[in-house]
Structures are given as C-alpha cells and as structure tokens.
Structure 1
Amino acid sequence: MKVKHKDSLTRTLLISISLLTIGILLWIIAYIFVNGISHIDLVKLFPPMVSTLFIVVIGLAISAPIGIGAAIYLNEYAKDGKFVRGIRFATESLAAVPSILFGLFGMMFFQINLKLGFSMLSGALTVSMMVLPTIVKTTEEALKTVPTSYREGSLALGATKYATIAKVVLPSALPGILTGIVLGMGRIVGETAAIYLTAGTMYRLPLSAMESGRTLAVHLYLLAKEGISFDEAYGTALVLLVVILCLNLTTYFIGNKLNKSSSK
C-alpha cells in the first residue's frame, strides 16, 4: 500500500508540474498575443526579418557542417582517450559561456581584428560559435541511437566505413540531427547580446553580408529599452514568438515524417 501511495503521489506531482509548465507557456503566449496582435506592422518589420534571415542562414551554413563533422568523428572514428575527452570538455564548456562573452569576443576579433566591422557576417560568425555545442551534442546523441547491428550489417556486406556512415548511419540519425540544427536556429533567432555587439543596431535593409542591420530580437530590445513604443515591442515579440513556434513545430513534423519513413 505504501508503494502504491508513493507511486500515486509521484504521478500526481509530475502531472501537476507538467500542467504548470503548459499553463505558464499558454499564459505568456496569450499575454503577448493580446497586447501585440493589433500592433503588428510587417512593413516596418521587413528589414529586421531580412537581417534575421541573413544571420540564421550564414550562421548555420558555418556551424552545421562543422558540428555534424565533429560529432561523426567523435562517435564513429575517435577512440576514447584524453584527446576525445578534451574535445567533449571543450564543447560542454563552450555551451556554458554566456552570450555576452561571445559578443565581446566577436566584437574584438571579427569586428576589429579582422576588420569586418558591424556586419551580418560578424554577427553570423559569432552566433555560429554559440550554437556549435548544441549541434555537436544533439548529433552525437542521434548517432548513438543508431543500432550497432546496422553498422555491422553494412560492413559485412562489403561496404566501406565511409559508405556505411553516409548511407546507413546518417539517414537513420537524420531526425535527431535536424532537431539539433533547428534548436540552434531558434537560439540564433532569439539572440540579442551577441548580435547587438557584432551585427549592429542600424535599422536598414541589408543587401549583403558585409552590411550591418538589426534582427528581430535586437529590434524588440531597442523598442523596449529606449521606450520608443511598447506597443510595437509587443507586436515584434508576437512575430518573434510565431517564428520560434513555427521552427519547433517544423522540427516535430520533420522528425515524425523521417521516423515513419525510416521505420517502413
């Protein structure tokens, strides 16, 4: 009876915590929606949206190949030792660095030393370092979920290790890899401090990666910080929230699709 009572109590506690989490999320969404739905101006938000797109595309184009490649090396090629443990420790440490420090580093190195100035490229290079640990970790965990029998079967049929990884392991781990990429994308979209110090705050439509601009998150920050318009800030927050929710839903949809196709 005591065991059943403890199980029931634990179940009730976990359900309550889950409902509380969902309730907080719905409350935030509803609050932003009510205050921002009537203040959305997509014409004014077009330049920040383009700037955000620049940062996301360039940042992921840099971090995704490096992160996926590093995870493949760690999980498929490297043998456990001091070097591998050092890489994993460095990756975990990089994930714990505050974004403002990434911004200061990007400002000093990319903006000043490399003379890239306030530009989309400076911001993208900075955020690519921020999301790299996320992509490495999620990709490595996704690769670990692929059964060893898949690798052994492919090698037994005469396939090379490279062919096994490219045609057997990676397709099976693709849902998890995509999840890491989209999580990184979500962090880039919502980042403020690092982009504020590297890409700039100028309200303009960037036509190249070497021009400065203002992302949606930075635009929201400036509207609220300077007290320019809290109504516009709520409208921008709603657009930003919709973008992030769409990314999460896209990840869920793609992951389910790929899981269903791989199970057939």
Structure 2
Amino acid sequence: MEWWPVYLILGAVVGFFAGLLGIGGGLIIVPVLTFIFSAQHFPPDRILHLALGTTMAAIIFTSVSSLRTHHLHGAVNWQVVKYITPGIIVGTLGGATLVSMLPSRILSIFFVVFIYFAATQMLLKITPKPSRKLPGRAGMFGAGSIIGVISSFVAIGGGLLTVPFLSSCNVKLQHAIGTAAAVGFPIAVAGAIGYIANGMAQSQPLPEYSLGYVYLPALGWVVLASTLTAPLGAKMTHSMRTSTLRRIFVVLLYLLGTKMLIGLF
C-alpha cells in the first residue's frame, strides 16, 4: 500500500495528457508500471505481463468517458464499430493469449519499437492519404483482428492504429477519431479478459492482490486519479497552446522508450 502515491501521480499525469491531447495513456502507463513493479520486486519474467494487463483494464474506464463524449457530438460511425468489433475481439483475445506465452524480453523489444514508432508518428504528424473506401465485412474483420492483436501487445486503445486506417478509407478525421474511441472499449474489455484469464491459468505465483495479470491496487489508484485530471486537461485544450505540450509528451515517450531499451542490456 505504500506505493499508492506513485500510482496516484501516474494516473494524474496520464489523465491530464489524455484529456489535453485526446490520446490514450497506455504508452506511458506500461513503461512506468514496469519500473514500479521492478522496484516492488515482482517476478521479473512477469513484470511486463502485469503492466500490460493492468493498463488494459485501466483503459476500460477511460474509454467509456471518451466514447460518450464523441457519441454526444455525433462523431461515432456505429456501422463501422459494428463490423470491426468481431475482428477486434478475436484479435485482442488471441494477442493476449500469445503475449502470455512470450518471454518478457521479446515483449519489451516489441514495445520499445512501437513506442518509438508512436512518438515519431506524433512528432511528424504522419497521416495517411485517403486512397480507398471502407472494405466489406470480411475486410473489416481482418483489419479489426490486426488492430486487436497489436493493441493487446502494447496495451493501447487502438487509436494509433484505428484512426490512420479509417482516414485512409476516406472517413472524416473527426469521425475517425470518434469511431476509434468507441472501438477502444471492446479492445480494452477483450484485452483485460484475456490478460486475467491467461494470468490465472499460468502456474507461477503472482503478487498478492493480482487478478490474473491485472494488479488491482495499481488499477484502482491510476483509474481514480486519471478520472479526476482528464476533464482538467480537456478544459485546458481550449485555453492554451497544445503544440508545446504535445512535444513534451513526445519527448517523454522517447525517454521512457530509451529507458526500457537500456534496461534490455
């Protein structure tokens, strides 16, 4: 319980940036939790699994607020959500199962590569040009499966993948963002279920108060703080320049990714 102030600070920072920049906090929560769990002497080869599972569970709560906001603004294409969700669920559950079978080192390498990719994408504001129409049901299932697998590997709500996909299919950016927020909910639910089930199925003892690969004390404090600071960040979006803070966020991602990379060696 002595670690609760650290979890509270982490949740506050993540919630603020999520509200300010409209992005999920998984790319911050996961590396910071790995550092905290290491300091708490959790089983070394299960630390990243616990960080990923706990983050997925936290995204459930943050995605509900984001989904509701975009829905009220009429920015969610529910037809797309309907067709892409089955693939999302299958891909995310399958990805969580695969993650449970991989060693932490392989997962860490994958996560570091993705965090550098995400930070560079944000820094350069890389967006795909509209080049095609939305695919049919089979295509949407396939796209959802790919998004789900990758999202479960790095514990994100899928926005970094769903928005570019929808934008490339001639979906308006506002609707792409709103729809990605809605898709983030089934990703988070399926991912959390997958991490809980696979964590409970493995024989190695996990820390006390763990539900599978979800560490409940961290989940509770992070969710509590992020829920309080996300509205503050959203309000500040309209009263200050976000470009500078976006750069700060990108620098933070690079630093966290580099810290994890150094830890591998």
Common fold, TM-score beyond 0.5? no
Q: Which has the higher contact order (CA 8 A, sep 6+)?
A: 2
Q: Computing the radius of gyration over CA atoms, which structure comes out larger, 1 or 2?
A: 1
Normalized per residue, which structure has more helix?
1
Calculate the TM-score normalised by the size of structure 1: 0.29
